[in-house]
Amino acid sequence: MRFSGTMPANLLPFTADLAIDEAAYRKHLRWLVDTPGVTGIVANGHASEVSSLSREERKRSLAIALDEIAGACPVIAGVYSDGTADAVELARDAGAAGAAGVLVFPPTLFMWGAQLKPDMALRHFSEIAAGADLPIIVFEYPPASGIGYAPETLARLCEIPQVAGVKDWSNDIVAFERNLRAVRATGRPVAVLSAFTMSLMASFLLGADGAISGMGSVTADLQAELFQACAKGDLDGARRLNDRLDPLVRVFYAPPFVDMHNRMKEALVLLGRIPAAHVRPPLTPVPPAEREAIRRAIEAAGLR
């Protein structure tokens, strides 16, 4: 499978008692899949607060997404685990449910020096590939995080036959370009999907094949238009779209970064797309002053 285009990572609405709000979730998914230019959906990603979900909740979240989307576009399942054996099981769950592929997060264990031992990453991904045999998207983190892969390691991962894409969240345009060049140099048909939402236009112009973005849960329409404008070489149009996205980028990704998806939930409430912005602990709700800043950014972006 060749991944490309705008692929939002869905937010996951919760009820007041912090159960999955299925009705609100289905409404959110329907808006995403009905948005022109959306070519895929990522379930069980960061944006869905995946670290707070049990294995059964991950299965249920994915099942709802697959049922609601009903083949209108591919659904990719996040595989978030610190252990390889557990990651294999989560990938098998995704394959059994009917996911089109898996987005594999790096184990947090890697931050303790795995960059010096690339065979750890190669073994992790090779065992997932052998155990689940699904298209894999490698999640590339910022180099400073300690769990990002060097361009050379990324190129070696792309030699695994099941690896079909890289979600690049290097958050550094120099690192992004190096990764892009390393992937292209393999000669394999591996898509580079930007998660560099704070500089999306730049990554598109460098040649990204598309985007996987939690912010796409709010702005899938603008992101899709931006990608198309960049692909056509319409720089004036791209700049106008980038200018509309900018106030939202600044408010969503303001410090502390950990609140980015909480803020996006608040934006969906203000836009009338979900009923409430409940988040699971240890996350906490955004304060009223921040909610007002989000409202102003929505208006500046022309979303209402």
Of 164, 217, 208, 163, nearest to 41 by C-alpha is: 217
The residue behind tokens 């989560």 is: 90
Three-class DSSP category at 168? strand
Across the range 286-299, mean pLDDT stands at 97
End-to-end CA distance of the chain: 36
Instruction: Give Cβ neighbours of residue 105 (< 8 Å, ≥ 6 apart).
Output: 78, 79, 80, 81, 139
Q: pLDDT tier at 143 (50, 70, 90 boundaries)?
A: confident
pLDDT at residue number 243: 98
Residues 22-45: tens digit of each pLDDT: 999 999 999 999 999 999 999 999
pLDDT at residue number 46: 96
Three-class DSSP category at 136? strand
Q: pLDDT tier at 300 (50, 70, 90 boundaries)?
A: very high
Q: Within a 10 A sphere around the Cβ of 195, how many other Cβ atoms?
A: 28
pLDDT at residue number 273: 98
Largest CA distance in the chain: 50
pLDDT at residue number 109: 94
Beta-strand (E) ranges in 89-175?
Answer: 101-104, 136-140, 163-168
What is the DSSP code (8-state) at residue 38? B
Burial of 25 (0-12, 13-18, 19+ CB in 10 A): buried
- Provide DSSP, 206-242: HT--EEEESTHHHHHHHHHHHHHHHHHT-HHHHHHHH
Q: pLDDT tier at 18 (50, 70, 90 boundaries)?
A: very high
Which amino acid is located at 21 in the chain? D
Omega within 30 of 0 (cis) for the link into 74: no
How far apart CA 294 and CA 158 sit, in angstroms, is: 39
Residues 209-226: tens digit of each pLDDT: 999 999 999 999 999 999
Q: Within a 10 A sphere around the Cβ of 34, how many other Cβ atoms?
A: 11
Tell me which H or E stretch contains 141: none
pLDDT of 271 > 90? The answer is: yes
Of 157, 203, 156, nearest to 176 by C-alpha is: 203
pLDDT at residue number 74: 98
Residues 51-67: tens digit of each pLDDT: 999 999 999 999 999 99
What is the DSSP code (8-state) at residue 243? H
Here the tokens at position 97 are: 């449910």
Query: What structural domains and CATH numbers belong to the chain?
Result: 5-234 (3.20.20.70)
For residue 261, CA distances in Å to 23, 214, 225, 270 come to 20, 7, 22, 14
pLDDT of 1 > 80? The answer is: no
Burial of 258 (0-12, 13-18, 19+ CB in 10 A): exposed
Of 133, 136, 208, 135, nearest to 169 by C-alpha is: 208
Using a pLDDT cut of 70, give the percent of the chain over it.
100
How far apart CA 66 and CA 98 sit, in angstroms, is: 7
Across the range 234-262, mean pLDDT stands at 97
Here the tokens at position 79 are: 């595989």
Residues 165-211: tens digit of each pLDDT: 999 999 999 999 999 999 999 999 999 999 999 999 999 999 999 99
Q: pLDDT tier at 144 (50, 70, 90 boundaries)?
A: confident
